[in-house]
Amino acid sequence: MVGKPQHITIAFDVMGSDHGPEEVVRGAAQLSLESPHIHALLVGDRPVIDAALAGIKHNGERISVHHAADFVGMDEKPGEALARKPESSVAVAARLVAEGEAHALVSAGNTGAGVLACKRHFQLIPGVRRAALATVYPTRGVRGAKQDPFSLILDVGATVEATAEDLVAFAVMGSAYARIISRNERPKVALLSNGIEPQKGPPRVVEAHQRLSQMTGLNFTGNVEGIDIPRGTVDVIVTDGFVGNVCLKMLEGVHDTVMELAQYAYKESLRWRAGLAMLSSGIERLKDITDWEQYGGAPILGFDRIFIKAHGRSKARAIANAGKVAAKAVANELGTAIQEGLAR
Amino acid sequence: MSLPDRIDPRPPRRIYRWDLDKTYLQTDFESLRDLFRTAFQKAHEKVAVPGASALIRELAEQGDSRLCIVSGSPKQMRAVLEEKLKLDGVQWDEFVLKDNVSNLLRGRFRALRGQVGYKLPVILESRIHAPVEAEEVLFGDDAEADAFIYSLYADLIAGRVDERVLSQVLEAGGVYPDDVARVHEAWKKIPVADPVRRIFIHLDRLTPPAHFTAYGPRVVPIFNYFQAALVLLADGHLTAPQVLKIAVEMVQTAGHNIITLSNSFQDLLRRGLPLQQAAIALSQAMEGPNALLKAMRPVPDILAAFSKRLAALGTQPPPPKVQAVDYVSLISHALPRTHKGRSTKPST
């Protein structure tokens, strides 16, 4: 387990993001100006990084570069790509974190490759059998000292078939993360099921419910249904990777459909357009509240090192925020908090 | 005085020219409030840029150099500035301040903020008295026009700028006729030589380094004075133990650490500066018991941090190309920062 360091170095997988390496470099540069205690280790094609860095405002004392010529593209199969490209930026960055050159990894590239690179280079925390990929989702409610409008859903794809034991570990990990990142002292944790009654759901969910109900130190509130996700009824929603991924994609689909409908309405009729214009300040407010860029990224939980997966569409601000989230997780010893939670 | 008693000082082999605000001193004059605060600060309240005084002291160690300070601060601040330099153990040979009261009384309002018409004649006049073989290293910052003025100065005395270009630049820079005359007069008295080795630009405002590419590799933007010391080690102006002394001062007084120093080292390598030999010299200087370095960190850690930053880069990039500087197109860099004609975009 990594101890509490005075200066935190975050390794950024510079390649593989939708907006190209320049955007990741810009994010790290922004971080170098804003956070004196965080150092950025940029892993990727050095000439590209140098060219990008030379033209933007940054603090050279807080940035270093590690050359990696290869990278895994968004459309590549993770396993095959990593086998073919052992010196890809995400693999090298994960290795550097494992070797102690950096304390955490941030990547906006191929999610599968990121998870796989972590599996190869990091160790699972004692008591954790499977890692969980978490995501943040904007909700109606706010939570914690930061008035965080996001709830955490895990797992959304790292462990497709989770056992009851895995679900319990996910609950502990999610709770520790929400406590540290959202400064939410007692995050409400729930299992996603097809009914709120304890006996509802497949056997693994029923068994996980029983175990979680008996755990001290965890604010387990029982089961929630799909409708509770956008309502923000709880702070951490626990499910397996299969269901979580289906939920996540459906929620993204709803968001896209609403946006398309708004665009349709805007084009279709002057009256509707006027109506939208009248609502514009409210829409802007909604955009501010649900701005995922302020969150930066979502963690892969369960490893002894921190990995924050930034969205592929992340711009500089989101990358910088992902770096800050990673540094916060390191500074607050997330791994230790998870281990302690599992021991209870 | 009998003849044997009258021993003239050795002619300087090296001349170091320094700006003061934001180059040597951490000065804020972004707002009127900052300006007032700076004007009324006492000597002990003024803070030097980390490593600057240590660097100046180490450069003076050889005993054959001159320190010439030319600052845009008003003459009225001389006493407090001199006291600050003395507190820092800095000894100077020339110290020129701007006569803004005279500019005000004469209605020369452009001269209040303009730098070209002030600094260029002063440093040219200073050069008249220097031995032709004396090398020069210049220190400025990114707040004003230092890269432009110092480069123009270097190319003027090296004969790489003709009279037509100089006239165009002085006109576009809004230089008053009497200062134009001083520039031409001093320039004519200086024998043609190419003495300027380096121009360091302290990135006080963190201007992107590419902004200075148009001035060629002679101009080295630096994030801190450890970087300047490394380049001066490679250029033969400092020894490795001297560089380590500067680093230790930065660690002890300004919160620098092994990460910031090794990142600074790598930053220069990535910009193509040939520092491999300097790195070897530093490693050798660290061998054996060294009480100075114990204050910083165990020696193996320092070596490991620097070696890792070096190894992380793979092949060294080629050094930046030497090129002629197009002063006419860069004139916007010489205008005061708030001038509407000033370009903020980095040069390519």
This model of the complex carries an ipTM of: 0.88
Q: How far is CA A77 from CA A88, A113, A119, A135, in A?
A: 13, 8, 16, 21
- The CA distance from A107 to B101, in Å, is 57
By the 8 A CB rule, do A142 and A180 touch? Answer: no
Q: What are phi and psi of B195, to 5 degrees?
A: -85, -15
Contact assignment for A46 to B270 by CB distance below 8 Å: yes
The alpha carbon dihedral of B246, B247, B251, B256 has a sign of positive
Distance, in Å, from the CA atom of B187 to the CA atom of A135, rounded to the nearest integer, reads 67
Q: Does B11 touch chain A (CB under 8 A)?
A: no
pLDDT at B284: 85
B224 touching A (Cβ < 8 Å): yes
| 3-state DSSP percent of chain A in helix, strand and coil, to 5 | 45, 20, 35
Cβ contacts (< 8 Å) between A65 and chain B: which residues? Answer: 266, 270, 312-313
Q: Tens of pLDDT along B150-199?
A: 999 999 999 999 999 999 999 998 899 999 999 999 999 999 999 999 99
Q: How many Cα atoms are found within 13 Å in the side-chain-facing hemisphere of A121?
A: 24
Residue A102: count other Cβ atoms within 10 Å of its Cβ. 27
Parts of chain B with a pLDDT under 50: 1, 346-348
Please judge whether A65 and B266 are an interchain contact, meaning their C-beta atoms are less than 8 angstroms apart: yes
Taking an 8 Å cut-off on Cβ atoms, the answer to whether B267 and A60 are in contact is yes
**Gap from A92 CA to chain B (nearest CA, Å):** 11
Instruction: Report the residue from B208, B256, B266 with minimal CB separation from A64.
Output: B266
Run of H or E residues at B338: none
* C-alpha distance from B331 to closest chain A C-alpha (Å): 20
Residue A293: the pLDDT is: 62
Q: Which of B206, B312, B317 sits opposite A57 (nearest CB)?
A: B206
Q: Which residues of B touch A54 (CB under 8 A)?
A: 208-210, 213, 271
Amino acid B298: pLDDT? 64
Cβ contacts of A60 on chain B, cutoff 8 Å? 203, 209, 223, 263-264, 267
Chain B nearest-CA residue for A43: B312
Hey, which residues does B222 pair with through a beta bridge? B202
Alpha-carbon A89 to chain mean position:
19
Determine the residue type at B262: S
CB contact under 8 A, A56 and B309: no
8 Å CB contact of A9 and B259: yes
Minimum CA–CA partner of B209 in chain A: A54
Tokens 């803004």 sit on residue? B100
Check CB contact under 8 Å for B271 and A62.
no
Q: What is the CB-side half-sphere exposure of residue A38 using CA atoms within 13 A?
A: 29
Q: Token pair for residue A57?
A: 């405002």
Tally A–B CB contacts below 8 A: 63
Q: With an 8 Å Cβ cutoff, are A65 and B270 in contact?
A: yes
The burial of A196, by beta-carbon neighbours within 10 Å (0-12 exposed, 13-18 middle, 19 or more buried), is given as middle
Taking CA atoms, A306 is separated from A92, A241, B108, in Å, by 15, 19, 61
pLDDT digits (tens, 9 = 90+) for B205-228: 999 999 999 999 999 999 999 999
* Sign of torsion over alpha carbons A72, A77, A79, A83: negative
Judged by CB atoms closer than 8 Å, whether chains meet at B263 and A62 is answered as yes
Q: What is the pTM of this model?
A: 0.88
Amino acid in position A175: S
Rounded to an integer, what distance in angstroms lies between the CA atom of residue A26 and that of residue A49? 10
Q: Is A42 within 8 Å of A31 (Cβ atoms)?
A: no
- DSSP class of residue B11? P
Handedness of CA B85, B86, B90, B92 (dihedral sign): positive
A36: nearest CA partner in chain B: B260
Chain A residue numbers touching B306 (CB-CB < 8 A): none
Low-confidence residues of chain A, pLDDT below 50?
1-2
Asked if residues A51 and A25 have their Cβ atoms less than 8 Å apart, the reply is: no
Option in B209, B263, B308 nearest A39 (CB): B263
- Main-chain phi, psi angles of B184, to 5 degrees: -65, -40
The burial class, CB within 10 Å (0-12 / 13-18 / 19+), for A270 is: exposed
Cβ contact B59:B238 at 8 Å: yes
DSSP letters for A235-301:
SEEE--HHHHHHHHHHHHHHHHHHHHHHHHHHHH-HHHHHHHHHTHHHHHHHHHHT-GGGT-EEEEE
With contact defined as beta carbons under 8 Å apart, do B234 and B221 qualify? no
Q: Is B206 on the interface with A (CB under 8 A)?
A: yes
Which of B208, B264, B317 lies closest to A57 in CB terms? B208
CB contacts, 8 Å: B266 with chain A: 64-65
- Angle subtended at Cα A204 by Cα A198 and Cα A205, rounded to the nearest 5 degrees: 35
Chain B environment of A64 (Cβ under 8 Å): 262-263, 266-267, 309, 312
Q: What angle in degrees, to the nearest 10, is found between the helix axes of A270-278 and A280-289?
A: 50
Nearest to B95 by CA among B19, B39, B180, B152: B19
SS3 B202: strand
Separation of alpha carbons A253 and A259, rounded Å: 10
Partner A contacted by B33 (CB < 8 A): no
Residue B140: the pLDDT is 97
Q: What share of chain B is helix, strand, coil (3-state, %, to 5)?
A: 50, 10, 40
Give pLDDT, residue B315: 79
Find the CB nearest A67 among B223, B257, B314. B314
Distances (CA, A) of A335 to A3, A4, B140: 9, 11, 47
Please indicate if any CB of chain A lies within 8 Å of the CB of B168: no
pLDDT of A3 reads 55
> Hey, are the CB atoms on A62 and B266 less than 8 Å from each other?
no
Tell me how far apart the alpha carbons of residues B304 and B209 are, in angstroms, rounded to a whole number: 27
Please name the member of A54, A55, A62 whose beta carbon is closest to the beta carbon of B260. Answer: A62
Cβ–Cβ contact B92 with A under 8 A: no
pLDDT for position B110: 77
Spatial distance between the Cα atoms of A158 and A303, rounded to a whole number of angstroms: 12
CB < 8 Å to A55, chain B: 208, 210, 346
Per-position DSSP letters for B109-169, written without gaps between them: HHHHH-SHHHHHHHHHHHHHTS-TT-EEEEEEETTTTHHHHHHHHHHHHTT-S-HHHHHHH
Which residues of chain B make contact with A39, given a CB cutoff of 8 A? 259, 263
Kindly report the backbone phi and psi dihedral angles of residue B286, in degrees, each rounded to the nearest multiple of 5, phi listed first: -85, -15
Which residue among A55, A63, A67 sits closest to B312, beta carbon to beta carbon?
Answer: A67
